A = this chain, B = another copy of it.
């Protein structure tokens, strides 16, 4: 019977366990990517498909905003949309990802035309947006907590790209660099909100499930990409 409210360390422990278990840094495609074993075509496929996730993040965050009756929370959460969409004089995360595409030899048109997005990727990303539209906002907040695990992944990815994919123009990596610090700041706040507003046993459980769901979304994205761009065998 798990009818009792977890204390804060227990709750945080349950959330962190999810990341330790199934965060997508452990997906075979991701492992192979960091080992430097992806072809330029596979890297481009990853960048182009992952872009579909990027462009849906502000949509997801606006859905969450629209479900949140607390003005003080909205005042802070809205920065995520601005961080991604940008404003006059601040390019924003989507633009940074377009530059990453450019650095890989993909045109803006290649990225912006989402007709070629792999179906498995589309379904996974759309499921995430639907989740944010339909779940209580504190549960949607909890689903963003993969950002707790993102800074490590970003730092390692940045190293891997610089080491193994020197054909990618280094000025393309701004997105990764900006996320290292940004993800930390955002996840601190999201964790605080989760701990405060997921304040019943049912909501705590829903928060952990939301984080599992979000890890599944990220995992399914890589499944789709790996299916279309299988890694080359190791050259031992």
Contacts and interface: CB of A to CB of B under 8 A. Distances in A.
Interface of A: 55, 58-60, 62-63, 65-69, 71, 74-75, 78, 81-82, 85-88, 94, 133
A63 B81 CA distance: 13
Q: How many copies does the complex hold?
A: 2
A69 to B, nearest CB: 7
Contact of A62 (B62, B75, B82, B87): B62
B94 A85 contact: no
A65 B59 CA distance: 7
A64 to B, nearest CB: 8
A233 B192 CA distance: 55
A78 to B, nearest CB: 6
8 contacts: A55-B71, A59-B65, A62-B65, A71-B85, A71-B86, A71-B94, A74-B81, A75-B86
A15 B29 CA distance: 54
Contacts of A88: 75
A85 B66 CA distance: 12
Contact of A58 (B60, B71, B86, B133): B71
A74 B83 CA distance: 12
A60 B81 CA distance: 16
A28 to B, nearest CB: 32
